[in-house]
């Protein structure tokens, strides 16, 4: 990854020196702002929290975006612009919204045509707003909180699904899986982390699940970090829910599912929503027994797509894991490249217009063609996966499935 960066991105040193110099030269003397170069590469801001608490996700996301840029440049860049190459301008939001917004300013000075990032919803709210000021297209890679795209910012596009869509799909699929097995499950316990996505998810679940024939026994919110999950698992054991729905970050998910295994608690299903395990090969590899049969409703790629399969091989050859942060960012960059191809220019307004009319269909997500309404990709949806014998299988919806759901979980 670092090799790619060194070769393809402009060095930050050169850029800041240039920006600073420009500020002094043009700014102090009262010249108009720097005129962006009309020829040459198209600059793209790649903005993620690569340090701080969200660093793992941020680095995965950056890797995905960089690999897409590398591939696009290898196969000839943006053809309608005479083969112009994409040139990443890297930014680190340090897991803080104010730093993210400052990085947008930096990218603006660097003359980026668009920004891809910044993984977390809290940061996305700040960066989309900052980018809107400069009319820079901002493709939100993950940032699932609904408000990221409902504030009427014309520059903001979210390729992946928002929280409401994810939870709605999760409920539909849960009902379908349960019906398909002859309705063995009726009671549910929810274990969620206390920040935006876990709390938001549990709220929607509590509103909607009772109407779909499920009884919620208890909803447990826990802190990040939670150091010990024994209490939560003890409560689960005492109340014997048919289904446990966890929604938390990777670290807590590891401790939680490990404690479930240690305490020998086996509900009929562990059905995660935006959970750690079933969407992380690392977890499956390190704890195959604890991960077995865990289901997850999350971002996932179309497993039958050859581009995705090849990318996965490439990612794993680099010693990285093929996680949703990585492939979503990969596809966000391709979405942008396709828009640039149609726009034929790196001009910001034209890029926004091209994205707004995007019909990008050549991606490897299980979405269908891209269509943005108020900045949200209408086709975007999560899917259900299940860990089956050390492999993460897509089990729902049927048209993309690589395996059948195993439900209820067989006795150990």
Partner 1 sequence: MVELQILLPAILNGLTTGAVYALIALGLTLIYGVLHIINFAHGSLLMLAMYAVFFLHAGLGIDPYLALPVVVPGFFALGYLLQRGVIARASHGRDENILLVTLGVSIVIENLARYFWRSDTRTIETPYSFETVDLGVAFIAVPKVVAFAGALLVTLALWWVMSRTDLGRAIRALAKERQGARLVGIDVDHIFAMSFGIGTACVAAAACLLLPSFYVSPGVGHTFVLIAFTVVVLGGMGSFAGALIGGLIIGVTESLCGLYLGESLGQIGIFLIFIAILLFRPTGLLGHRA
Partner 2 sequence: MRRQLLAIVAFLAAMALVPHLVDSEFWRNWVMMALFYALLGQAWNILGGYGGQFSFGHAAFFGTGAYCSAILHVHYGVNPWIALPAAGMAAGLVGAFIGFLSFRYGLRGSYFALVTLAFAEVLRILANTVPITGKGVGLLIPLEPGAANMQFADRTGYFYLILAFVGLALLLTLWLEHSRFGARLVAVRENEDAARALGVDVFRTKLAAITLSGALAGLGGSYYAQLFLYLDPGIAYGPAISVEALLVPIVGGMGTLFGPLLGSFALHGVSELAKLAFGEAPGLDLALYGVLLVLMVMFMPNGLFGMGRTTLARLLGGRRDA
Which positions from 240 through 279 interact with partner 1, judged by CB under 8 A? 250-251, 254-255, 258-259, 261-264
Q: Which does 262 bind (CB under 5 to 8 A by kind): partner 2, partner 1, none?
A: partner 1
Distance of closest approach, residue 318 Cβ to partner 1, in angstroms: 12
Identity of the residue, 37 or 223, whose beta carbon is nearer to partner 1 in the bound complex: 223
Please report whether residue 135 would count as binding partner 2 according to CB under 8 A.
no
Of the pair 46, 395, the CB lying nearest partner 2 is at 46
Number of residues that bind partner 1 (CB under 8 A): 38
Q: Are 121 and 42 in contact (CB under 8 A)?
A: no
String of contacts with partner 2 for each residue 6-35, x by CB under 8 A? ---x-xxx--xx-xx-xx--xxx-xxxx--
367's CB contacts (< 8 A; 6+ apart) are 377, 379, 380, 381
Does 196 help bind partner 1 (rule: CB under 8 A)? no
Residue 261 binds which entry of partner 1, partner 2, none, CB below 5-8 Å type-dependent: partner 1
CB of 47 to partner 2, least distance (A): 12
Window of 76-84, 283-291, 300-308, 343-351 that interacts with partner 1 by CB under 8 A = 283-291
Using CB under 8 A as the binding rule, whether residue 315 contacts partner 2 is answered as no
Query: CB-wise, 161 or 267, nearer to partner 1?
Result: 267
Asked if 158 and 375 touch (Cβ cutoff 8 Å), the reply is: yes
Using CA atoms, how far apart are residues 201 and 171, in angstroms rounded to an integer?
11
Contacts of 72 (CB under 8 A, 6+ apart): 78, 86, 333, 334, 337
If we measure between CA atoms, which residue out of 35, 48, 38 comes closest to residue 5? 48
Under the binding rule (CB under 8 A), the answer on residue 53 touching partner 1 is yes
**Residue 59 interacts with partner 1 (CB under 8 A): yes or no:** yes
Q: Which stretch binds partner 1 (CB under 8 A): 53-61, 160-168, 292-300, 374-382?
A: 53-61
289 near partner 1, judged by CB under 8 A:
yes
Give the one residue of 37, 223, 234, 361 binding partner 2; rule: CB under 8 A: 223
DSSP letters of 232-267? Answer: HHHHHHHH--SEEEEE--HHHHHHHHHHHHHTT---
Q: Other CB atoms closer than 10 Å to residue 124's CB: what's the count?
A: 28
Q: How many residues sit close enough to partner 2 to count as binding (CB under 8 A)? A: 58
DSSP assignment of 90-138? EEE-TT-HHHHHHHHHHHHHTT-SEEEE--SHHHHHHHHHHHHHTT-EE
Residue number with CB closer to partner 1 (53 or 344): 53
Contact between 390 and partner 1 per CB under 8 A: no
Q: Which is nearer to partner 1, 324 or 367 (CB)?
A: 324
Contact set for partner 1, span 213-232 (CB under 8 A)? 220-223, 225-228, 230-232
Tokens 């067989």: give the residue.
Answer: 410
Report the residue from 65, 84, 115, 126 that binds partner 2 according to the rule CB under 8 A. Answer: 126
Is 194 a residue that touches partner 2 (CB under 8 A)? yes
81 or 163: whose CB is closer to partner 2?
163
Q: Which pairs from 280-288 meet CB under 8 Å and 24+ separation?
A: 280/250, 280/321, 280/323, 281/321, 281/322, 281/323, 281/392, 282/321, 283/250, 283/253, 283/254, 283/257, 284/387, 284/390, 284/391, 284/392, 285/390, 287/254, 287/257, 287/258, 287/261, 288/390
Edge to edge, the sheet with strand 137-140 lists 86-92, 42-48, 114-117, 137-140, 156-158, 376-377, 372-373
- Interface residues toward partner 1, by CB under 8 A: 50-53, 55-56, 58-59, 194, 220-223, 225-228, 230-232, 234-235, 238, 250-251, 254-255, 258-259, 261-264, 282, 286-287, 289-290
């Amino acid at each position: 990854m670092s090799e790619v960066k060194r070769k393809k991105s402009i060095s930050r040193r050169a850029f800041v020196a240039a920006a600073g110099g420009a500020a002094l030269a043009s700014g102090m003397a009262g010249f108009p702002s720097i005129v962006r170069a009309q020829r040459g590469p198209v600059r793209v801001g790649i903005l993620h929290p690569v340090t701080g608490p969200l660093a793992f996700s941020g680095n995965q996301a950056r890797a995905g975006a960089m690999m897409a840029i590398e591939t696009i440049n290898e196969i000839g860049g943006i053809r309608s612009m005479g083969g112009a190459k994409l040139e990443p301008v890297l930014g680190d939001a340090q897991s803080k919204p104010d730093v993210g917004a400052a990085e947008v300013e930096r990218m603006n000075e660097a003359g980026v045509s668009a920004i891809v990032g910044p993984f977390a919803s809290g940061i996305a709210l700040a960066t989309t707003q900052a980018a809107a000021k400069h009319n820079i297209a901002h493709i939100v890679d993950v940032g699932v909180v609904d408000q990221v795209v409902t504030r009427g910012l014309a520059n903001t596009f979210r390729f992946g699904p928002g929280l409401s869509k994810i939870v709605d799909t999760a409920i539909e699929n849960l009902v379908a899986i349960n019906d398909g097995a002859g309705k063995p499950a009726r009671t549910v316990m929810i274990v969620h982390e206390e920040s935006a996505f876990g709390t938001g998810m549990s709220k929607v679940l509590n509103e909607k699940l009772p109407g779909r024939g499920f009884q919620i026994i208890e909803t447990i919110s826990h802190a990040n970090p939670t150091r010990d999950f024994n209490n939560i698992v003890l409560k689960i054991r005492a109340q014997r829910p048919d289904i446990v729905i966890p929604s938390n970050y990777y670290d807590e998910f590891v401790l939680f599912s490990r404690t479930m295994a240690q305490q020998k608690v086996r509900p009929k299903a562990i059905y995660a929503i935006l959970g750690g395990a079933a969407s992380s090969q690392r977890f499956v590899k390190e704890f195959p027994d604890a991960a077995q049969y865990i289901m997850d409703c999350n971002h996932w790629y179309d497993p039958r797509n050859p581009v995705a399969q090849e990318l996965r091989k490439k990612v794993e050859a680099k010693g990285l894991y093929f996680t949703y942060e990585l492939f979503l960012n990969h596809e966000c960059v391709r979405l942008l490249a396709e828009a640039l191809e149609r726009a034929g220019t790196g001009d910001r307004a034209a890029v926004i217009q091209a994205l707004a009319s995007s019909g990008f269909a050549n991606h490897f997500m299980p979405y269908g063609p891209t269509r943005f309404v108020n900045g949200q990709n209408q086709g975007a949806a999560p899917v259900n996966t299940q860990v089956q014998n050390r492999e993460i299988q897509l089990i729902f919806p049927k048209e993309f499935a690589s395996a059948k759901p195993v439900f209820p979980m067989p006795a150990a």
